[in-house]
Amino acid sequence: MRDSAVRKLIELARNDKDISLVTGDLGFGVLKPYWEAVPNQFINTGIAEQNMTAAAAGMALEGKKVFTYSIGNFPTLRCLEQIRNDCAYHNANVNVICVGGGFVYGSLGMSHHATEDIAILRALPDVTVFCPGDVTEAEACIKAAAETDGTTYIRLGRGGEGRALDSVDFKVGKAYKIRDAKDFDKKVALFSTGAILRDAMAACDKLEAAGIGVEQYSFPTVKPIDEKVIKACADKYDYIFTVEEHNIVGGFGSAVAEIMAEYGGKAKLVRLGINDVYCTKVGNQAYLREQYGISADKISERIQGVLGE
């Protein structure tokens, strides 16, 4: 996902001299093709993410379309004040790229886990929040960010997510149907955002094997969110399940809950994610997903448990 996003950014930068990439002294292996292709549109600010963001805001206010790049919480929580005061408040065209959403950097501990970022960034007025689920969505989100006025947040995985979707007719704020619910007695809707998409898809396969129909959607945009899909599923199903590699407080599931609470409908909402705890375990991403209940097996088991299977 990360490499594909950078390749898309190179393609865009070659055709738009106003696009610039600013890094906090990270990502040299993946960013080298970018600075070789467009060296005059690249800046390394050193390990100084707050300065990186403030500089990006100044560049944007002079007409540039700026992408900042770092890992985990470093481009977001570490420089939240600069994103809020320098970028979002001024509607500056700064696009914050986080590589390593969720448990990507699992072995480095909670300081490197991005598990509260969706909640925090979507709370800032006028900030668009992108959480692509695979390579296809990541490429589309980079292009959309370059074309979106104001500040955006792009939450990427790291690498190896692959291309789960062949293509998407991408529009900001639109969710994408992955599958229709098979004609079983029990049917539910399942929504996911971000790189947990493949686990969500595998969980749906397991549910179908157990005789449960699933209408599945990917939400590459968390803000603005696709209210139309949420309302339609709230009317159609008894349960909507949300899946995210993020704290369930304030994140994607909470965004869905806000729409459902004001709209009504018959569906009950069940949020699957990190249950408001800090990760105290060390391991790779797959291990931590299993430990915190968001692997494919755990998602399937939880849904079957709620349905009384």
Burial (CB < 10 A; 0-12, 13-18, 19+), residue 293, is middle
Per CATH, the homologous superfamily of domain 2-156 is Thiamin diphosphate (ThDP)-binding fold, Pyr/PP domains (3.40.50.970)
Selection from 200, 197, 113, 202 nearest residue 163 by Cα: 197
Cα dist from 48 to 23, 73, 95, 104, whole Å: 9, 13, 17, 22
Does the pLDDT at position 34 exceed 70?
Answer: yes
Mean pLDDT to the nearest integer, 154-167: 82
The packing angle between helices 227-236 and 252-263, to 10°, is 60
Q: Is 49 a catalytic residue?
A: yes
The residue ranges of DSSP E strands in the chain, in sequence order, are 19-23, 42-44, 65-71, 94-99, 128-130, 152-156, 176-179, 186-192, 212-218, 221-223, 239-247, 268-274
Catalytic residue among 11, 49, 139, 301: 49
The winner for highest mean pLDDT among 152-161, 165-174, 239-248 is: 239-248
Determine the length of the chain.
309
Give dist(CA 133, CA 130) in Å, integer.
10
* pLDDT attached to residue 28: 79
Phi, then psi, of 152 in degrees rounded to 5 = -130, 160
- Centre a 10 Å sphere on the Cβ of residue 202 and count the other Cβ atoms it contains: 15
Ranges 72-76, 167-171, 215-219: which has the least confidence:
167-171
Amino acid at 88: A
Selection from 277, 276, 231, 233 nearest residue 258 by Cα: 231
pLDDT band at 165 (very low <50, low <70, confident <90, very high): confident
* pLDDT attached to residue 144: 97
pLDDT tens-digit map of 102-113: 999 999 989 999
* pLDDT attached to residue 24: 92
pLDDT tens-digit map of 195-212: 999 999 999 999 999 999
* pLDDT attached to residue 36: 95
* pLDDT attached to residue 27: 77
Cα dist from 45 to 23, 78, 80, whole Å: 6, 15, 17
Give dist(CA 67, CA 51) in Å, integer.
14
pLDDT tens-digit map of 66-75: 999 999 899 9
The fold for domain 176-306 equals: Rossmann fold (3.40.50)
Preceding amide of 224 cis, omega within 30: yes
Tokens, residue 7: 């390749």
Q: For the whole model, what pTM was predicted?
A: 0.96
* pLDDT attached to residue 235: 98
* pLDDT attached to residue 309: 59
Check residue 87 and report its DSSP letter: I
SS3 241: strand
Q: Which residues contact 169 (CB under 8 A, 6 or more apart)?
A: none
Show me where the domains of the chain are located. Answer: 2-156, 176-306
Give dist(CA 198, CA 178) in Å, integer.
11
Sole residue written with tokens 């990541």: 138
Ranges 90-99, 162-171, 226-235: which has the least confidence:
162-171
pLDDT tens-digit map of 228-272: 999 999 999 999 999 999 999 999 999 999 999 999 999 999 999
**The domains spanning 2-156 and 176-306 adopt the same CATH topology:** yes
